[in-house]
C-alpha cells in the first residue's frame, strides 16, 4: 500500500494518516431546489407529501424517498434552478448552523428569508482542493465510474475492482484501506481513457460533471467546512478563472474573502438536433472585494500582512544566489556566463526585464538607494556600505537555500508549509532582515541533527493556520 502524506506533511504514524486528507464537511448549501415532475404532480398524495415535508424543512433526498415509498413513484423530483441558494436545517449536522447563516446573510426579496449572496473563505491554496471535480456515474450503491488524471496528464475512466472471494471461507476477501481502484477496461472503453464522445454512459446522460465548492463561512462556528455542489462546466470555468486571478495577484487563495452569488448569463448549448441554441441561465459565480489594480501596482496598503509569506517563493526555488530587489521579493541571480537564464520570481515587477538579460540596478532590500545602508542592517558592518550589506544577506540566503534542500523543505509538498512557518515566526518581510535570516539558519542547522523537532514546529504552525 502506498503511504499518503498526512495533513501536516509529517511522517505517517497511523493507518488514518495513510489515506489522503478529506476535509470534514458539516453541511451542504444547495444551488437550487427540487420540484415534482409532471407525472408526480398528477398524484394528489405525492403533492400533499411534498408540500408538508418542504414546509417542515426536510431535505429533498428524504422527500424523494418518502414519495417513492408511499406513492410508488420513482424519480418524482426534478432539479430546478432558482435565484437563491437553498440552506436547509436538514442539510447540516447541527441544524442551528443553517439558521445562523440565514440570519447573518439572508435577504427577504418578497419570498421570505433566502440566501442570495454570502461570503466564503477557502482553506487551501490549491484551487482543486477548494473545488474538487470529476466526471462520474452514480448508481444505487454510489459511484460506478469516475475520471482521474494520472501522471501522464491523461484523463482515465476508473472503477472499483470486483471483490475476490475466499474459497475457504466462501465469502468476499476483506480489503484493508477501502476498495481497490482500477482503470475501466471493457468493450465500451477498451483503453481506459475517459472520452465522453465515445462513452455510452455520457451519451445516455448518466455520466456528468460532478464538482463541489468546499469552504468556510465567516462567523459560522463548527469543526468543518461547508459544501456547495455544482454540475455546470460554465460554473467550474468561471470559478477557476476567479481563483487564478486572485492567486496571481496575491500569491495565495487563503485569507481572501470571496463572495458566492448567482448571475444570469447567455449560455450556448447544443440541442438534440445538433444546433447551437442560446438561452439565459443562472450560474453560481465567485467574486472578491479586493482591489486588483492596487495589488498589481504593488501598493503596500492593499496587501494583507499574511501575504508576506509568499516572499519566500524564490528562496525555495532558486538554484543560485538570492538577492532581494527593490520590490522586496528575492530573485535568483545566475552564475557568470548564464545571465538571463536564471529562475526569477514571476511576482516581481522587474521579472520580465531580468529574465530577458537586461541589466537592472540591484538595490538594497526594502528599496534603499545605493550608498545608504538598510535601516535593518546590523551595526557591525565593516564600513556601513550598501554593497557589504547585500553581500552578507545574499550569502546567508544562499546558505539557507542549501539547508532547505538538505532538509527536504524545498520539495513541492513542503514549500507552502515553510512559507507559513517562517512568516508566522518572524513576521512580514523577514527575508529582508539579516537578523531574522540568521536566526532561521540557526534553526535549520539544528534540524540537521534533530529534524523531528522542526517538523513538529512546522506542523503545529500549519495546524493553527488551518483552524484559525
Query: Alpha-carbon dihedral of residues 317, 318, 324, 328, nearest 10 degrees?
Result: -10
> What confidence tier does 170 reach under pLDDT thresholds 50, 70, 90?
confident
Q: What is residue 462's predicted lDDT score, i.e. its pLDDT?
A: 65
> What confidence tier does 37 reach under pLDDT thresholds 50, 70, 90?
very high
Q: What is the pTM of this model?
A: 0.60
What is the number of residues in the chain? 468
Higher pLDDT, 233 or 6: 233
Q: pLDDT per residue over 275-317, tens digit each?
A: 888 888 999 999 887 777 766 665 444 444 334 334 444 444 4
Q: What is residue 329's predicted lDDT score, i.e. its pLDDT?
A: 35
Q: How far, in Å, are 43, 94, 466 from residue 223 at the CA level?
A: 42, 11, 11
Closest CA to 420 of 265, 335, 309: 309
Any alpha helices (H) in 165-311, and if so which ranges? 200-203, 233-250, 292-297
Q: How far, in Å, are 325, 327, 367, 370, 396 from residue 351 at the CA level?
A: 10, 10, 16, 20, 22
CA distance 133 to 135: 7
Q: What is residue 35's predicted lDDT score, i.e. its pLDDT?
A: 94
Q: pLDDT per residue over 78-98, tens digit each?
A: 999 999 999 999 999 999 999
Q: pLDDT per residue over 315-353, tens digit each?
A: 444 443 443 333 333 333 333 333 333 333 333 333 333
CA atoms within 13 A on the CB side of 71: 24
Flag whether pLDDT at 64 surpasses 50: yes
Q: What is residue 450's predicted lDDT score, i.e. its pLDDT?
A: 83
By mean pLDDT, which of 22-36, 54-68, 235-249, 291-305 is the weakest? 291-305
CA distance 149 to 101: 36
Geometric angle at alpha carbon 311, from 350 and 364, rounded to 5°: 60
CA distance 366 to 375: 9
Q: What is residue 330's predicted lDDT score, i.e. its pLDDT?
A: 38
| DSSP symbols for 303-372 | S-GGGGGGGGHHHHH-SSEEEE-TTS-EEEEPPTT-TT-S---TTSTTHHHHHTT------BTTTBPTTS
CA distance 387 to 393: 10
Q: Mean per-residue pLDDT for 432-456?
A: 86
- How many Cβ atoms are within 10 Å of 91's Cβ, its own excluded? 21
CA distance 194 to 315: 39
Flag whether pLDDT at 360 surpasses 50: no
By mean pLDDT, which of 157-161, 168-172, 277-281 is the weakest? 168-172
**Using H for helix, E for strand and C for coil, what is the string for 412-465?**
HHHHHHHHHHHHHHHCCCHHHCHHHHHHHHHHHHHHCCCHHHHHHHHHHHHHHH
> What confidence tier does 74 reach under pLDDT thresholds 50, 70, 90?
confident
Q: Mean per-residue pLDDT for 107-131?
A: 93
Q: What is residue 295's predicted lDDT score, i.e. its pLDDT?
A: 64
Flag whether pLDDT at 367 surpasses 50: no
CA distance 300 to 364: 18
Q: What is residue 169's predicted lDDT score, i.e. its pLDDT?
A: 67
Q: Three-state DSSP class for 148? A: strand
CA distance 406 to 401: 9
Q: What is the mean pLDDT of the chain?
A: 77
Flag whether pLDDT at 396 surpasses 90: no
> What confidence tier does 229 reach under pLDDT thresholds 50, 70, 90?
very high
Q: What is residue 380's predicted lDDT score, i.e. its pLDDT?
A: 38
Flag whether pLDDT at 259 surpasses 60: yes
Amino acid at each position: 500500500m502506498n503511504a499518503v502524506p498526512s495533513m501536516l506533511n509529517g511522517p505517517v504514524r497511523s493507518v488514518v494518516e495513510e489515506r489522503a486528507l478529506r476535509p470534514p464537511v458539516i453541511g451542504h448549501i444547495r444551488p437550487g431546489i427540487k420540484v415534482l415532475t409532471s407525472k408526480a404532480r398528477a398524484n394528489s398524495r405525492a403533492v400533499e407529501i411534498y408540500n408538508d415535508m418542504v414546509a417542515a424543512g426536510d431535505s429533498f433526498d428524504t422527500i424523494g424517498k418518502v414519495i417513492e415509498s408511499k406513492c410508488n413513484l420513482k424519480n418524482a423530483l426534478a432539479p430546478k434552478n432558482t435565484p437563491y441558494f437553498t440552506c436547509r436545517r436538514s442539510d447540516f449536522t447541527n441544524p442551528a448552523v443553517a439558521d445562523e447563516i440565514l440570519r447573518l446573510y439572508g435577504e427577504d426579496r418578497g419570498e421570505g428569508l433566502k440566501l442570495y449572496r454570502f461570503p466564503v473563505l477557502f482553506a487551501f491554496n490549491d484551487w482543486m482542493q477548494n473545488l474538487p471535480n470529476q466526471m462520474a456515474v452514480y448508481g444505487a450503491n454510489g459511484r460506478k465510474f469516475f475520471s482521474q488524471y494520472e501522471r501522464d496528464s491523461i484523463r482515465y475512466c476508473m472503477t472499483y475492482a470486483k471483490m475476490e472471494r475466499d474459497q475457504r471461507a466462501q465469502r468476499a476477501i476483506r480489503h484493508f484501506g477501502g476498495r481497490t481502484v482500477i482503470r475501466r477496461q471493457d468493450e465500451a472503453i477498451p483503453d481506459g481513457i475517459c472520452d465522453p464522445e465515445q462513452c455510452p454512459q455520457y451519451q445516455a446522460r448518466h455520466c456528468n460533471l460532478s464538482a463541489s465548492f468546499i469552504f468556510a463561512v465567516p462567523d459560522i462556528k463548527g469543526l468543518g467546512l461547508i459544501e456547495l455542489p455544482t454540475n455546470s462546466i460554465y460554473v467550474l470555468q468561471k470559478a477557476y478563472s476567479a481563483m487564478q486571478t486572485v492567486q496571481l495577484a496575491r500569491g495565495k487563495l487563503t485569507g481572501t474573502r470571496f463572495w458566492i452569488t448567482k448571475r444570469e448569463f447567455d449560455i450556448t448549448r447544443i440541442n438534440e438536433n445538433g444546433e447551437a441554441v442560446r438561452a439565459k441561465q443562472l450560474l453560481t459565480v465567485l467574486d472578491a472585494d479586493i482591489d486588483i489594480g492596487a495589488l498589481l501596482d504593488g501598493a503596500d496598503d492593499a496587501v494583507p500582512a499574511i501575504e508576506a509569506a509568499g516572499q519566500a517563493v524564490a528562496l525555495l526555488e532558486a538554484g543560485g544566489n538570492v538577492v532581494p530587489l527593490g520590490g522586496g521579493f528575492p530573485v535568483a541571480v545566475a552564475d557568470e556566463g548564464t545571465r538571463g537564464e536564471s529562475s526569477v520570481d514571476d511576482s516581481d515587477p522587474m521579472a520580465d526585464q531580468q529574465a530577458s538579460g537586461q541589466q537592472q540596478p540591484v538595490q538594497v532590500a526594502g528599496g534603499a538607494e545605493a550608498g545608504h545602508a538598510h535601516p535593518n542592517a546590523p551595526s557591525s558592518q565593516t564600513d556601513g556600505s550598501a554593497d557589504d550589506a547585500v553581500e552578507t544577506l545574499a550569502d546567508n540566503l544562499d546558505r539557507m537555500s542549501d539547508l532547505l534542500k538538505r532538509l527536504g523543505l524545498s520539495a513541492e509538498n513542503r514549500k507552502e508549509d515553510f512559507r507559513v512557518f517562517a512568516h508566522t515566526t518572524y513576521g512580514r518581510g523577514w527575508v529582508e532582515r539579516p537578523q531574522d535570516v540568521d536566526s532561521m539558519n540557526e534553526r535549520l542547522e539544528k534540524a540537521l541533527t534533530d529534524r523531528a523537532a522542526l517538523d513538529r514546529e512546522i506542523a503545529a504552525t500549519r495546524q493553527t493556520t488551518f483552524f484559525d
